[in-house]
């Protein structure tokens, strides 16, 4: 998978200007996970706290020529304990960003969402892919392709608002949301079309704020003005979306991975809706993707601090 090094330069530069924030890294025991954390420190966007079995971490650091004395490290027996400890640091206000290392997403998210010890808010937690595709003039935000398997309408409302909030943090004042389905007309037998229509009405009534929504839209009508015009679709979003809201995890995951592997799109990934932004990339992602994701998390966390200082 190729990643354009310049793809997220504007976001990275903004984060560098804002300065580093403490970031709890759960189990950075693969090359990509450790180098993602190290590079975020090198770029001055995070102060990683590395939580892992020390023997394993030291061995990896030696292989990669990483000087661990630069970082705060916390010794834990295994990956599950690493996730638990990383979440605890965030809960205690010791870290402003959380990063998943080389452990399984399920294992990591179980700790994040734990009822008594996790870092949930009243908002549903969801994932957003930020993708830079050569053939599209700006970032595409795809959600949710990693956490919510078959979200109902209430969950989709939160998924949508989370992505809108992320766009706002990145300076997109009124993002356009295309709510995807296979067709652009309402079909009672296709739940995604009913949900799309309901979400648009929720936006009209102020239950979703800060964006322009339209749907259902098939992918071609969402992304191409010509395709929309051919079908006679009059829409403020068609051909010009920022956010693609997918019907379910499977369709979203396929869409994001197709863009990565067939269109050589660069991608970053962030989890919204928890107490702090969470850097959640695939274990196959390279350190560039992790660095871009951390830069996005930095902007979100700084924005949260600004809001709290004004409150």
Q: What is the pLDDT of residues 167-204, one digit of tens each?
A: 999 999 999 999 999 999 999 999 999 999 999 999 99
- Please give the share of the chain, as a percent, with pLDDT higher than 90: 90
**Domain definitions of the chain by residue range:** 1-120+274-310, 123-271
pLDDT in the model for residue 311:
74
DSSP calls for 224-285: -HHHHHHTT---SSTT--SEEE-SSHHHHHHHHHHHHHHS--EEEEEEESBSS-EE---TT-
pLDDT grade, residue 279 (50/70/90)? very high
Topology of domain 1-120+274-310 in CATH is Rossmann fold (3.40.50)
pLDDT grade, residue 1 (50/70/90)? very low
Alpha carbon distance 256, 281 (integer Å):
12
The secondary structure element, H or E, covering residue 214 is strand 212-217
Q: Which of 210 and 308 is assigned the larger pLDDT?
A: 210
Alpha carbon distance 244, 160 (integer Å):
9
Alpha carbons within 13 angstroms on the beta-carbon side of residue 295 total 24
Alpha carbon distance 221, 2 (integer Å):
27
- Whether residue 130 has pLDDT greater than 90: yes
Alpha carbon distance 144, 246 (integer Å):
7
Q: For residue 250, what are the CA distances in angstroms to 72, 143, 145, 198, 255?
A: 38, 11, 7, 21, 9
pLDDT in the model for residue 283:
64
Do 234 and 91 meet the contact criterion of CB atoms below 8 Å apart?
A: no
Summarize pLDDT for 6-35 with one digit per residue, the tens: 789 999 999 999 999 999 999 999 999 999
Summarize pLDDT for 224-272 with one digit per residue, the tens: 999 999 999 999 999 999 999 999 999 999 999 999 999 999 999 999 9
The arrangement of secondary structure in 123-271, i.e. its CATH architecture, is 3-Layer(aba) Sandwich (3.40)
Going by C-alpha positions, the residue among 130, 67, 118 that lies closest to residue 270 is 130
Residue with tokens 């009534």: 205
Summarize pLDDT for 136-172 with one digit per residue, the tens: 999 999 999 999 999 999 999 999 999 999 999 999 9
Cis preceding-peptide flag for 273 (omega within 30 of 0): no
Count other Cβ atoms within 10 Å, centred on residue 116.
4
């Amino acid at each position: 998978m190729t990643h354009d090094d310049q793809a997220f330069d504007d976001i990275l530069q903004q984060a560098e200007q804002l300065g580093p924030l403490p970031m709890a890294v759960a189990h950075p025991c693969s090359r990509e996970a450790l180098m993602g954390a190290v590079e975020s420190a090198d770029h001055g966007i995070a102060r990683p706290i590395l939580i892992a079995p020390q023997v394993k971490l030291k061995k990896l650091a030696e292989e990669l020529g990483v000087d661990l004395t630069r970082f705060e490290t916390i010794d834990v027996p295994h990956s599950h304990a690493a996730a638990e400890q990383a979440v605890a640091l965030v809960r205690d206000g010791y870290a402003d960003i959380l990063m998943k290392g080389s452990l399984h997403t399920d294992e990591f998210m179980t700790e994040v969402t734990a009822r008594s010890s996790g870092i949930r808010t009243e908002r549903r937690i969801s994932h957003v892919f930020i993708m830079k595709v050569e053939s599209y003039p700006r970032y595409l935000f795809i959600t949710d392709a990693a956490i919510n398997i078959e979200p109902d309408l209430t969950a989709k409302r939160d998924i949508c608002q989370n992505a809108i909030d992320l766009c706002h943090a990145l300076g997109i004042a009124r993002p356009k949301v295309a709510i995807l389905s296979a067709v652009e007309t309402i079909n009672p037998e296709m739940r995604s079309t009913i949900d799309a229509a309901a979400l648009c009405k929720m936006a009209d009534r102020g239950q979703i704020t800060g964006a322009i929504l339209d749907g259902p839209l098939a992918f071609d009508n969402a992304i191409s003005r010509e395709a929309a015009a051919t079908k006679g679709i009059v829409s403020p979003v068609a051909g010009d979306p920022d956010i693609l809201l997918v019907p379910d995890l499977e369709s979203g995951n396929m869409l994001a991975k197709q863009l990565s592997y067939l269109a050589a799109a660069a991608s970053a990934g962030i989890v919204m809706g928890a107490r702090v932004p969470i850097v959640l990339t695939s274990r196959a992602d390279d350190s560039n993707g992790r660095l871009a994701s951390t830069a996005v998390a930095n902007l979100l966390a700084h924005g949260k601090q600004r809001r709290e200082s004004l409150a």
